[in-house]
């Protein structure tokens, strides 16, 4: 990995220092032990831990406000509706969307992508059309498009990457054609940590008349997002990867596009009037939110966003960059260890393999010392095939992690290598 200043996006002089010890006290789970050792949680790319304010937000909702929303006229229903819609307003600001009508609540990124594939895709894609994704996509940004292409007779094309795990933009440009209808690409790779130049990707697609969906699952917690500046047609993220609850996600879509899309599901709230002869649909964003939504987790998502805003993404990212560089330097000193993904622009995630040792064996040995990492293909099997490996060991860092925890991982890793070699 290139560890020069191009990787550090935020220098120590530019950021407000974070009191990590004070941050850690806000996360109850970090005080527990695993197998007799203090928990070291380095699986943040899979899901982040939850601060007390998010946990209390859930408890408070169920303790004091629990009611179904939107149509009730009693006090609890009105309070629950206000709290639910307050989160939508905050998400609009978080993404710098132009309207609350552009903010659709889903269960997460996977459902958001499927919503676009099912609704926009089945309406717009026809035989011979082309959809472009990249080699580093998560399965949730591959399979929905494969299903759509098989159904419609469309063609799925894949942007290749270099050995550092970076998009080959010149090859992307060659893939674009008048037949390209959609480009769907990850903002940050969950397996490599690569930060893709999505604004350039979007500009190139738009010049060819194609729409663009950005999978922001790994970027929303680390990188300031401005959907208007990016000019993204769709952008999506999951709450549980930004210190919020599981089961709540967001799909942003440009209003004009969403208005022309048919509903994703049928049922309560997405209707304006139902007759046996014909049903008319509700306005945005409710047209895409059928049935009783995940109210409590949506309300608590607001607390997660407030948590990030309190510290500031730039300050959080600066500390995480520092952790990434520290871990990378330590890992590079281990004989037989190879880092997979050495892009110049990365977030706080490092994937690696060790000669002659299966990643799962390392994961088990680290867990025996209370250290949680992720091993396997990380739902990116085509990417692993590109590098000719079955999977990696992935350590991913968050605001509450420390260099001392990295030192603990290194000691456990060296011990595991000695025993397994």
Q: Using alpha carbons, list the distances in angstroms from residue 78 to 69, 72, 277, 287, 371.
A: 7, 7, 32, 20, 44
Residue 15 confidence class, pLDDT cut points 50, 70, 90? low
Residue 149 known to be catalytic? no
Is the pLDDT reported for residue 279 higher than 80? Answer: yes
123-135 in b/e form (b: 16+ CB < 10 A) is eebeeebbbbbbb
CA dist 27 and 40 (Å) reads 13
For the chain, give every residue range classified as CATH 3.90.1150.10. Answer: 20-50+312-416
For the chain, give every residue range classified as CATH 3.40.640.10. Answer: 55-309
Question: In this predicted model, what pLDDT tens digit does every residue of 323-381 receive, in sequence order?
Answer: 999 999 999 999 999 999 999 999 999 999 999 999 999 999 999 999 999 999 999 99
Catalytic-role residue among 168, 379, 389, 410 = 379
User: What average pLDDT does range 8-27 have in this prediction?
Assistant: 74
Residue 8 confidence class, pLDDT cut points 50, 70, 90? very low
CATH number of 55-309: 3.40.640.10
When the pLDDT of each residue in the chain is averaged and rounded to a whole number, the result is 94
pTM to 2 decimal places: 0.94
Q: Per CATH, which fold does 20-50+312-416 belong to?
A: 3.90.1150
Residues 6+ away with beta carbon under 8 Å from 331: 337, 339, 350, 352, 410
Q: Measure the CA dihedral 418/419/420/421, to 10°.
A: 40
Q: What percent of the chain has pLDDT over 70?
A: 96
Question: In this predicted model, what pLDDT tens digit does every residue of 291-318 receive, in sequence order?
Answer: 999 999 999 999 999 999 999 999 999 9
CA dist 181 and 148 (Å) reads 13
């Amino acid at each position: 990995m290139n560890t020069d200043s191009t990787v550090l996006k935020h220098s120590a002089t530019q950021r407000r220092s974070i009191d990590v010890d004070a941050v850690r006290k806000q996360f109850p789970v970090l005080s527990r032990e695993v197998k007799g050792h203090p928990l070291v949680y380095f699986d943040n790319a899979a899901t982040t831990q939850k601060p007390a304010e998010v946990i209390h937000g859930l408890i408070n909702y169920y303790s004091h406000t629990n009611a179904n929303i939107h149509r009730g006229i009693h006090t609890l229903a009105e309070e629950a509706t206000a709290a639910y819609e307050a989160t939508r307003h905050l998400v609009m600001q978080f993404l710098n969307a132009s309207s609350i009508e552009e903010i659709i609540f889903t269960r997460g990124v996977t459902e958001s992508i499927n919503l676009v594939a099912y609704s926009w895709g089945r309406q717009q894609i026809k035989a011979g059309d082309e959809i472009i994704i990249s080699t580093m996509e998560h399965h949730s940004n591959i399979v929905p498009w494969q299903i759509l292409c098989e159904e419609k007779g469309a063609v799925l094309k894949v942007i290749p990457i270099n050995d550092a795990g970076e998009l080959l933009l010149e090859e992307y440009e060659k893939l674009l054609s008048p037949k390209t209808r959609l480009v769907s690409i990850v903002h940050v790779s969950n397996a490599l940590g690569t930060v893709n130049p999505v604004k350039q990707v979007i500009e190139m697609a738009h010049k060819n008349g194609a729409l663009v969906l950005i999978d922001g699952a790994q970027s929303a917690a680390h990188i300031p997002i401005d959907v208007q500046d990016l000019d993204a047609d769709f952008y999506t993220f999951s709450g549980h990867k930004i210190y919020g609850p599981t089961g709540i996600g967001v799909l942003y879509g440009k209003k004009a596009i969403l208005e022309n899309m048919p509903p994703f599901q049928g049922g309560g709230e997405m209707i304006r009037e139902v007759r046996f002869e014909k049903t008319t649909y509700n306005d945005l964003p409710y047209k895409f939110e059928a049935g009783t939504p995940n109210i409590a987790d949506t309300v608590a998502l607001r607390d997660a966003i407030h948590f990030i805003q309190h510290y500031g993404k730039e300050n959080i990212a600066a500390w995480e960059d520092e952790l990434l560089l520290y871990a990378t330097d330590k890992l590079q000193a281990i004989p037989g260890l190879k880092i997979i993904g050495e892009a110049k622009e990365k977030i706080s995630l490092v994937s690696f393999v060790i000669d002659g040792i299966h990643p799962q064996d390392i994961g088990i040995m680290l867990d025996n010392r209370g250290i949680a990492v992720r091993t396997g293909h990380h739902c990116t099997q085509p990417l692993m095939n590109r590098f000719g490996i079955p999977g990696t060991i992935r350590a991913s860092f968050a605001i509450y992690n420390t260099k001392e925890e990295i030192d603990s991982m290194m000691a456990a890793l060296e011990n595991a290598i000695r025993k397994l070699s």
